[in-house]
Structure 1
């Protein structure tokens, strides 16, 4: 497959027929990053992408970085008020998977050019860029008149396997 632009991925995954979608929200706390990883891994396995597949590991790694960034940088409400981070997947079999993480901040993600060798922060978007087949940030309408952003990551899909209905499915 020729490398697609982020815009091409977006057009297909947002508007094409045959795209399976799922979305969930998590409270904006670092402790929920693991819950987001489990949710995405189970959904990808349910779609037939393989339990221990390197593809799933790439997607989960990118998700982890994006959710962590949303929790750390995307919070707009005072600490005592509830705030959520959204996670959504759009999957078109044998084409691509889109992952979007939404938060309430307008602030566009800014990749660091070169984090220092000893830095423990600042590598997240470089990792997203290296592990995904493209990424983009888009404005995201929120309820109650507010706006936020969505940060997408795109992955060209490997061939899927059919999961027999008789086998137990992840919950």
Structure 2
């Protein structure tokens, strides 16, 4: 399978999250994912959450990678993989936000939107990744996410595989 990989270095500043979103939108368009597609919005939200987690919770620079899988043999559109690597060895911790909480929904959203996600040690730090199958059907709500509003977030059927270091 042929894979196109693009990469962006992200500084340890919350303002970098907006820059990462703008960069990702242009790369998605370049890969044939139109800006008005629900898939584009889902990927931008996933990228935003993973980059925000890296910047806010580690205070370290990070590297955002987006990998576009080629079209499958049965005519499927392939998989888009988002990876964020940072220099912190602290594992990600999925939390459950309550009512008016202003944080704690990031990995819950990733779990609800991605087809698969996980993390693994990388050098002195870690890499958090998620994958979205381009031909997966969209569903109407994010299971288990409360307080996300009534908007259709373009969520997908999920299964996640978190890789913990042994």
TM-score by length of 1: 0.72
Tell me by how many angstroms 1:121 deviates: 0.8
| Greater mean deviation of Cα atoms: 150-159 or 57-66 | 150-159
Name the one with the larger helix percent.
1
Give the match for residue 46 of structure 1. 30
Secondary structure at 1:33 match in 2: helix
For structure 1, list consecutive stretches of 5 or more residues without a partner in the other structure. Answer: 1-16, 76-82, 142-146, 160-171
1:23-102 residue pairs with structure 2 within 5 A?
23-75=7-59, 83-93=60-70, 94-102=77-85
Give the match for residue 150 of structure 2. none
Task: Calculate the aligned-residue CA RMSD, in Å.
Answer: 1.4
Q: Aligned partners of 1:140 and 1:108: how far apart in 2?
A: 11
Contact 2:35–2:41 (Cα < 8 Å) also in 1: no
Q: Does 1:109 align with 2:92?
A: yes
Secondary structure at 2:15 match in 1: helix
Q: Does 1:131 align with 2:108?
A: no
Tell me by how many angstroms 1:84 deviates: 1.8
Q: Aligned partners of 1:84 and 1:119: how far apart in 2?
A: 26
Give the match for residue 7 of structure 1. none
- Give 1:153's match in structure 2, choosing from 127, 130, 133: 130
Deviating beyond 4 angstroms after TM superposition, the runs of 4 or more aligned structure 1 residues are none
Q: Aligned partners of 1:65 and 1:55: how far apart in 2?
A: 15
Secondary structure at 1:30 match in 2: coil
Tell me by how many angstroms 1:51 deviates: 2.2
Give the match for residue 121 of structure 1. 103
Tell me by how many angstroms 1:158 deviates: 3.5
Tell me by how many angstroms 1:138 deviates: 1.2
Tell me by how many angstroms 1:35 deviates: 0.5
Give the match for residue 156 of structure 2. none
